[in-house]
Structure 1
Amino acid sequence: MNLNIGLEGSSITRPPFFDENNYSFWKTRMTIFLQSLDYQLLHIFVNGPRMPTRTIEGVVSPKPKNEYNDNDFRMLQLNSKAKHVLFCAVGPNEFNRISSYDSAKEMWDLLEVTYEGTNQVKE
């Protein structure tokens, strides 16, 4: 009997490691870990990053990078931080599966669909 199940990654500074087994257990631990780092990180995983926009005459469009303010950079940095945490939490197989995506939400969603299925599959 393996008594080390779940112990890999048991650290307050290192994300729980996903070994492609017991996704629900890992997802719960990862959710708490993200909240402990920065509560907005979980928001990035669930809702996606907030891309900087501007509104001119009622039309919302992407904000040019030279107009980014400190809050815009913080939100973009949170997505990068979320991606980094996820990359640190998975092995090479999952890294290869998710690394082509730009947002942590897309990566998180792919893992969720892969290991839990779509809503139709769950029902």
Structure 2
Amino acid sequence: MASAQPVFRDGGSGNKPPCFVGEHYDFWKIRMQAFLEAQGEEIWDAVENGPFIPTTVVNNVVETKVKASWTDDNKRKVLFDKKAKNLLQSALGMDEFFRISQCKTAKEIWDTLEVTHEGTTEVKRSKLNTLSQEYEMFRMQPGETILDLQKRFSHLTNHLMALGKTFTNDELNLKVLRSLTTA
């Protein structure tokens, strides 16, 4: 039984982020991360680690700088989060946008989407366990073509990798070879 392939209306070029309307989050997440990284290391860093906050040390105490005292470098670094936030918001359909509309930082947007569509750490662990078991039991289905097997295997391993599982090429190749049936 062939599954319907997702249709992606726009985005994903060098200029426009891939659009996410609530389906196929794992696919969008990989594409969006690549898009953000291509905009500059600092943009992705703002998503992954949070915004840059200009600070100063007064009497051996770190304090947040008042905006009027920001240097040009401080202003440039603060802008990375604003750019990342704009790119993320631009990549979302209306329902997803409203889900994150109250988020103040790019990291908060990313984390909200991640928890919403992947679940909490416990949910991810459960999905990882289920998919890992499916991976271990992976076999060619009766009447399945090599192409269909490859698509099914890629889909499974991509889901596992999105949840943090790592594979070597040798492991993947060996798994596919062992899953083939003899005719």
TM norm. shorter chain > 0.5: yes
* Structure 1 counterpart SS, 2:57: strand
**Number of residue equivalences:** 123
Q: Which has the higher contact order (CA 8 A, sep 6+)?
A: 1
Q: Computing the radius of gyration over CA atoms, which structure comes out larger, 1 or 2?
A: 2
**Which residue of structure 1 aligns with residue 13 of structure 2?**
11
Q: What is the TM-score with the length of structure 1 in the denominator?
A: 0.92
Note the C-alpha offset of 1:8. Answer: 2.3
Task: Report the AA paired with residue 110 of structure 2.
Answer: W
Indicate the larger mover: 2-11 or 77-86. Answer: 2-11
SS state of the match for residue 87, structure 1? helix
Moved more, 97-106 or 5-14: 5-14
Contact 2:50 2:106 in 1 (8 A): yes
| % identity of equivalent residues | 40
Moved more, 2-11 or 90-99: 2-11
Moved beyond 4 Å, runs of 4+: 1-4
* TM-score, with structure 2 as normaliser: 0.63
Match of 1:119 among 118, 121, 126: 121
Whole-angstrom CA distance in 2 between matches of 1:84 and 1:53: 24
CA separation in 1, counterparts of 2:35 and 2:54? 26
- Measured on the aligned residues, the alpha-carbon RMSD in Å equals 1.6
Give 1:101 deviation, angstroms. 1.4
Which residue is 2:106 aligned to?
104
1:88 matched to which residue of 2?
90
Q: Gaps spanning 5+ residues in structure 1: where?
A: none
- Work out whether residues 81 and 106 of structure 2, in 8 Å CA contact, stay in contact via their aligned partners in 1: yes
**Structure 2 segments unaligned to the other structure (5+ residues):** 126-183
Task: Check the 8 A contact 2:12/2:31 in 1, yes or no.
Answer: no
- Alignment correspondent of 1:38: 40
Match of 2:27, SS? helix
Residue 19 of structure 1 deviates from its aligned partner by 1.6
Instruction: Note the C-alpha offset of 1:57.
Output: 1.7
